[in-house]
Amino acid sequence: MRMHVTKFRLKPMSMVKDCRRSFVTRLVKRLVLLVALIAPTASCGDVVRQGRAPVFLVIDRLAAANGRLPDEFFSFLLSDVLTNITTPAPCTPARPCPTYFNDPGEVTLRLVPKDIGPPTGPTPLTTNNEVTITRYRVSYRRADGRNTPGVDVPYGFDGAVTVTVPSTGSIGLVFELVRHIAKYESPLVQLKFNRTIIASIAEVSFFGVDRVGNDVSVAGTMLIEFGDFGD
């Protein structure tokens, strides 16, 4: 009686390592593909879930006016660090009075629902969605990356305002964009009586709360050029 003996052939270690390497490579490729598929969805979800409020606060327009002409608003600002006025007395064309003006800003705000609903019936907003703006923040930066406050750009600041954005329509708000004190401080004070101009971007952020206590905020930007311009 003959017995059949099955012979097992062991794989070389190099083949085992190759199999392991191939398995790891396939696993990494699958993980990369999975992350690529998930990332866009996650980013979109973050936008929708940003904050607890059911609305977005939207800036329709951000403008500014030179302090000497506070009713003339434009989408950019030429901020004069020193203005020579000739009226009223005792100021005259022969003896103008050096004067510092603050520069106002103006913003138009409205609300947009996060859940827009079906095309046949958009989700209406109610008075619970009204947002009361309570403060704002102004910061300055330069395109060349030189952004040290008090050296390259004026100091940023926080300001207090109170206005309620209605559930429908929009509302305008005038606020202080460039303060008097900034024109007494570095680097703006050094611009007097010379031709140097500092071009900066002002970022203005508005903060508020809706009727049920959810925080809401929005930010906008504007070009501001500081200099001792002709009067």
pLDDT at 49: 42
Query: Which tens digit of pLDDT belongs to each residue from 109-126?
Result: 999 999 888 877 777 899
CA gap 17, 2 in Å, rounded: 38
Q: What is the CATH number of the domain that holds 206?
A: 2.70.50
pLDDT at 35: 47
Burial of 147 per CB tally in 10 Å (0-12, 13-18, 19+):
middle
pLDDT at 10 over 70: no
| pLDDT average, residue stretch 138-165 | 96
- Residue 164 forms part of a structural domain: yes
- Residue 61 forms part of a structural domain: yes
Task: Report the relative pairing of strands 215-227 and 77-80 from DSSP bridges.
Answer: parallel
Q: List strand residue ranges (DSSP E) for the chain, in order.
A: 55-64, 77-80, 83-85, 97-99, 103-113, 131-141, 157-165, 170-178, 198-210, 215-227
What is the number of structural domains in the chain? Answer: 1
- Residue 41 forms part of a structural domain: no
Q: Six-digit token pair at 161?
A: 């305002």
Angstrom CA distances, 56 to 201, 207, 209, stand at 24, 12, 11
- Residue 43 forms part of a structural domain: no
CB crowding 199-213: b at 16 or more within 10 Å, else e: ebebebebbbbbeee
Rg for the chain, CA atoms, rounded: 30
For residues 160 and 98, the answer to whether their CB atoms sit within 8 Å is no
For residues 227 and 197, the answer to whether their CB atoms sit within 8 Å is yes
- Residue 170 forms part of a structural domain: yes
- Residue 15 forms part of a structural domain: no
Percent of the chain whose predicted confidence (pLDDT) is above 90 = 65
pLDDT at 5 over 60: no
pTM, full prediction: 0.76
- Residue 14 forms part of a structural domain: no
Which domain range does residue 106 map to? 50-227
- Residue 130 forms part of a structural domain: yes
Query: Which tens digit of pLDDT belongs to each residue from 196-225?
Result: 999 999 999 999 999 999 999 999 999 999
Q: What is the 3-state secondary structure (H, E, C) of 144-178?
A: CCCCCECCCECCCEEEEEEEEECCCCEEEEEEEEE
For residues 64 and 76, the answer to whether their CB atoms sit within 8 Å is yes
